[in-house]
Structures are given as C-alpha cells and as structure tokens.
C-alpha cells in the first residue's frame, strides 16, 4: 500500500491540514491521475472533509473529492487487472471511496439542507459513473449496475446514520423530508432500474436490521413506498434507465441458463447477491400480457438485465418487499405501529394490491387487521372487499364482520364519514339478500336514537338509498303492526349474525320519531319517509361533512320568515336582588332568579 502523505495526527498537523488549499490539492490530484502520479493528497482531502464543521467548507471539499473520483473512475483505475502493485493501489483507492461514500451517506441527515441535497446528487452521480466503468470492464460489455454502491444509498435512506457534523446524535432518526421527496420524485418514480433495485435492497435491509434496533426503519420505508405512485402495468412502460447502458435490449431468455454477475476482485463478495427474490413468486400467465412484447420466462431464471425488462420480475420484487414489511407492523402492538398500519391500509386497495403477483397473499394480514376494529379495522374491510370483488376471494363472514362495526361508538367517532362512504360501497350490490340489508338499516335506525344530529343526518339519506335500491325493504316503513300476538319490536338487537336478527319483520319507527327532533335540519330530513319515493337517490357526499359547527352555522344564517314576539320595553331592574318592601321585611339579599326554581 502506498505510504500516506499524512504524518501521525498531531495537533500541529491538524492545523496544517486545515490551512491547506482545497484547490491546490484537487489540482495536484488531477495532474496525478493524468500522469499516473501519487494519489496520496486524496487522503488529505478526506481528512479535511471529516474534520471540518463549517457547511460552506464541507460543500467545497465534497465536490472537490467527487470530481477527483470521477476522473479516477473514467480512467479505469477501479477495475480489476494489472500487477500486484496496481492491485494494492486499487484497494487503497476503494478504501478511500468507501470512506467518502460513508461521509456522503451521513450528510443525508445533516442540518444544512444544501449539504443534504448535494450529497444525494453526488451519490447518484457516482452510481452512474461506477456502473459505466463496471460495464466497460465486463465481458462483451454487458450492462451492469453497481449494486454495492447502491446498497449504501439505500441504507442511508432507511437506517439514517448521523451526520459527521452532528456529534452525539442518535442513529435512530427519520429520513429528512426533503431528501425523501427528492429521492422519490427524481429517481424512484422515474427510473425503472432504480425502483427495481431499491425494492430488492430494501427487503434485504429489512431482513438484516431489527426494527427494535432501528425504530424509524419501518416509518422510513413506508414513507418511501407510499409515495411510489407510478408502477409499470405494461412492459412497454419499462423504458427509463438511470444507468444508460441498461437501455440496450437484453438477450433473449434461455430457460436453462442463469447469468451470474461478475464482481470486481477488489470488492468484497456479498452473500446475498444470489437474487433469491426471483424464486419468491411466479405469477400465472395473463392472457392480456401475452400480446405485449416482454422478456418471457419464469422470474427466477432471468438475469439481472433481463429482469429489468420483465414486468413479472418488477411485480415479484414489489410483492416480496410488501410481504416482508407488513408482518413487522403487527409483530409489536404499539401506537406507532398502529399508525403505520393505518397508513399502509390507506393505500392498500389502490397502490399495492393491483401490483402484487397474487393479491390474496396479504389476506391473512388484512384479516388480522379487521380484528383491531376502529379505523384500522374499517380500512382493512375496504382492502378485504377489494380482494373479494376484484380477485375472487371467498370470505363468507365479511358482512358479519361489517355488522359488528355497528355499535354506539361508531356514530360518535371522527371517522364516521369514512365509515358511511365505505359501507355504502359494501352494500351497493343489488344481489344482497333483503334479510341482510334489513339488519343494517334497522341497526343504524336503532343507533340513531342516541346519535348526535350530524350522524342522524347521515343515517337518514343512507337508509333512503338502500330502500330505493331494494324495494323489498319498503315494508319496514309501512308496517303498523308486527303480527298476531306480537306487541314488541321483534328485532333482536344482541344478535351478531345479520341474517338472524328478524329485522325484516320489524319497522323503522326510530327514524319516524326524528320528525319531532329538536334540530330542525334533522326533523326536516326525517320527513322524506312520509313522502313518495320519487327521488332517484341522495348523494351521500352532501351529508357526510356535517358537524355541530355546521349545524349551528346553518341555524345562525337561516333567514327568519316571521319575526318572533319581543317585549317592547325592557325593565332596568329585571332581576332585582332586593326592594324596599323586602328590606322592611328583613329579606335583604333576595335572588329573584333562584326563586324561580323553588317549588312550594
């Protein structure tokens, strides 16, 4: 190994390094790369970078080091080959590059936004240069992606090591918002190779790093995956590459051949580079996809280059990433995990299920979330309904689980509007039995007796729409008597099976009672059941945003058609505490208001 130009780190030497000109060191290294000279000043630059605390100086030195490494990479000094002396030099250069990359990864968590942005851009620019250099050195110039460098970027985004300028800060930090948004918008959502490799490496990081050791790992990963709004649905959409060499069409697939990526001899071999993701899932052949041009073959038999052009391979890594992530949310029942579960379920039906190789693989996790109840359980029911409707999942107890959500608290919670939106969707089918639907409308009718006015205003049009869609339920608003010898409501309120509540033999007398409600908005809406059912139906969105505040505003702004009767003159002593007669009688301190509530 070449001898470093740095003597032992004494205080005098540290002062000398600080005063060394960055430009002169860079100029010396630039000429050394061109003339095959000594690269020892590179160590000086790295010491300067690790030792400075000034953001401006840090920015200058990292860009200087970056330009030097671009020259070194373009000259092919990092690829294998040469005699023993060349191998020692190459090993030394890789050590310095790893030190520089570690510095940049730490700066992703720096307090200075400009340093965070610069570090992310330099890391991805180095990824492009290193991949190009690796491609040129590979047999037949096969397109390559520098995975070992990209792994450092992924670890920086998910594990968030502290900035070297922030001494003593915990490593269990959350990804900076600007770094995460920049990564998603500029790379993850744009380039197919970045997305594929990130999903693969994120799964590896998740399997090797414990969420107990890195509490923010799950939050960081979900914050990135929930922002992934663009995912290919057709092979023709696989056409954007950060590493330009990958834009060349891969060779045709051979069923019995597996391509093993060649790693540089100076780099350590990663035991997980076996691409075991390819064995995880193989989806069934889709007739619609058969007409499009794509790399064909089972996912686990494709090379890296072929996998990037295979829609099946992209869905495979996406599926593996989510199936490894979701169990961690339910492994420990904490408030933070419950919040993450809610966020995951929010995007499950539209952002996850359509891109899985087999959506029914998440059925068990979704079913477990239903048992949690409240907002989590409601969102899980939405995902479960999507599996039933779009992916032919057989779940006979779905409506029994939904019926269990109809309890008193549901009408007092803040997410009741979402509940009615989803319940209207769940009960929209005209093929549902009348007995089942009668239980739902009767149960809601019973709950309306203790519900706030805003909730009653939701229940009434909701019930009207169901009755309009299912005429067999009209008997529930026209029934006067329950039957011979039956004097009480036959509805079994405690029954958990919606098909055995006798609701169809009951009536909706609870909704009729609201025509005498103290709130005029409720009493007005309740009268629709006494009119002809000529209206096609109500738009629930017009009733879901009502609160006590909106009801009060409506009453305050209501135009008064008839002025109420008022006293013409107001006494100045309307509530006198005492008068002369009371004083004579010894009744000083009399309170006229309190006497109004004294009954003889």
Q: Is the pLDDT of residue 213 over 50?
A: yes
Return the minimum-mean-pLDDT range out of 152-156, 215-219, 436-440: 215-219
* Local structure of 484: helix, strand or coil: coil
pLDDT digits (tens, 9 = 90+) for 221-262: 999 999 998 899 999 999 999 999 999 988 876 653 444 444
User: What is the tens place of the pLDDT at every residue in 64-111?
Assistant: 999 999 999 998 888 877 778 888 999 999 999 999 999 999 999 999
Q: Which of 172-186, 234-248, 527-541, 573-587 has the lowest mean pLDDT?
A: 573-587
Question: In this predicted structure, what is the pLDDT of residue 171?
Answer: 54
Q: What is the mean pLDDT of residues 339-350?
A: 92
Does residue 461 contact residue 538 with C-beta atoms inside 8 Å?
A: yes
| pLDDT higher than threshold 70 for residue 287 | no
Which residues, 6+ apart, have CB-to-CB distance to 31 below 8 Å?
Answer: 37
Distance CA 213, CA 159 (A): 10
Short-list 462, 579, 459, CA closest to 513: 459
The pLDDT tens digits for 307-332 are 999 999 999 999 999 999 999 987 65
13: tokens are 């030497």
Give yes or no for a contact between 305 and 193, defined as CB atoms under 8 angstroms apart. no
If one counts every other C-beta atom within 10 angstroms of the C-beta of residue 425, the result is 13
Residue with tokens 């693969």: 200
Least confident of 195-204, 349-358, 586-595: 586-595
Higher pLDDT residue, 44 or 274? 44
3-state secondary structure of 36: coil
Q: Which of the four pLDDT bands, split at 50, 70 and 90, describes residue 416?
A: confident
DSSP string, 69-82: HHHHHHTTTTSS-S
User: For residues 299 and 321, is the Cβ–Cβ distance under 8 A?
Assistant: no
Q: Show contacts of 492-496: CB within 8 Å, 24+ apart.
A: 493/443, 493/446, 496/400, 496/403, 496/404
Between CA 188 and CA 492 the distance in angstroms is 54
CA torsion sign for 271, 273, 277, 280 is negative
404 or 211, which is more confident?
Answer: 404
């Amino acid at each position: 190994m070449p001898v470093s130009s740095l003597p032992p780190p004494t205080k005098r030497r540290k002062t000398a390094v600080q005063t060394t000109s960055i430009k002169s060191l860079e100029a010396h290294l630039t000429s050394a790369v061109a003339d095959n000279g000594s690269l020892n000043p590179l160590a000086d630059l790295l010491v300067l970078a690790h030792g400075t605390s000034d953001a401006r100086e840090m920015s200058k030195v990292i860009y200087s080091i970056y330009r030097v490494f671009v020259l070194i990479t373009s000259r092919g000094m990092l690829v294998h080959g040469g005699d023993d002396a060349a191998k020692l030099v190459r090993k030394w250069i890789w050590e310095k590059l790893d030190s520089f990359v570690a510095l940049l990864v730490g700066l992703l968590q720096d307090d200075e936004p400009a340093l965070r942005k610069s570090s992310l851009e330099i890391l991805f620019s180095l990824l492009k240069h290193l991949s190009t250099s690796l491609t040129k050195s590979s047999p037949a110039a096969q397109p390559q992606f520098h995975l070992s460098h990209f792994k450092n970027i992924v670890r920086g985004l998910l594990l968030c090591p502290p900035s070297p300028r922030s001494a003593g800060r915990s490593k269990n930090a959350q990804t900076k918002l600007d770094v995460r948004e920049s990564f998603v918008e500029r790379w993850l959502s744009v380039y197919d190779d970045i997305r594929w490799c990130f999903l693969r490496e994120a799964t590896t990081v998740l399997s090797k790093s414990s969420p107990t050791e890195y509490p923010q790992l799950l939050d960081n990963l979900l914050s990135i995956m929930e922002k992934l709004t663009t995912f290919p649905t057709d092979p023709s959409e696989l056409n954007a590459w950060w590493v330009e060499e990958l834009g060349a069409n891969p060779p045709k697939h051979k069923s019995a051949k597996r391509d093993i990526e060649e790693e540089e001899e100076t780099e350590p071999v990663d035991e997980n580079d076996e691409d075991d993701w390819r064995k995880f899932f193989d989806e069934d052949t889709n007739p619609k996809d058969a007409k499009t041009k794509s790399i064909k073959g089972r996912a686990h038999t494709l090379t890296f280059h072929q996998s990037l052009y295979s829609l099946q391979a992209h869905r495979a890594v996406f599926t593996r990433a989510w199936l490894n992530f979701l169990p961690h949310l339910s492994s420990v029942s904490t408030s933070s995990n419950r919040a993450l579960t809610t966020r995951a379920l929010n995007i499950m039906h539209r952002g996850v299920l359509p891109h899985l190789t087999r959506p029914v693989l998440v059925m068990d996790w979704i079913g477990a979330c239903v048992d949690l109840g409240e907002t989590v359980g409601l969102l899980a029911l939405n995902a479960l309904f999507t599996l039933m409707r779009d992916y032919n999942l057989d779940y006979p107890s779905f409506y029994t689980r939904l019926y269990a959500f109809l309890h008193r608290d549901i009408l007092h919670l803040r997410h009741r509007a979402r509940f009615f939106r989803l319940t209207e969707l769940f009960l929209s089918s005209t093929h549902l039995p009348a007995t089942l639907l009668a239980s739902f409308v009767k149960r809601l009718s019973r709950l309306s007796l203790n519900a706030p006015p805003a909730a009653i205003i939701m229940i009434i049009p909701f019930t009207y729409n169901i009755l309009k869609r299912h005429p067999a339920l009209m008997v529930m608003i026209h029934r006067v008597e329950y039957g011979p010898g039956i004097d009480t409501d036959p509805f079994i309120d405690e029954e958990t099976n919606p098909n055995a509540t006798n609701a169809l033999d009951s009536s909706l007398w609870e909704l009729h009672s609201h025509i005498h409600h103290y709130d005029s908005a409720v009493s007005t809406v309740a009268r629709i059941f006494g009119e002809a059912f000529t209206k096609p139906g109500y738009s629930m969105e017009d009733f879901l945003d009502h609160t006590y505040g909106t009801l009060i505003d409506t009453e305050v702004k209501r135009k008064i058609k008839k002025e109420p009767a008022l006293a013409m003159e107001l006494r100045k002593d309307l509530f006198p505490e005492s008068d002369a007669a009371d004083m004579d009688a010894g009744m000083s301190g009399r309170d006229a208001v309190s006497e109004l509530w004294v009954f003889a």
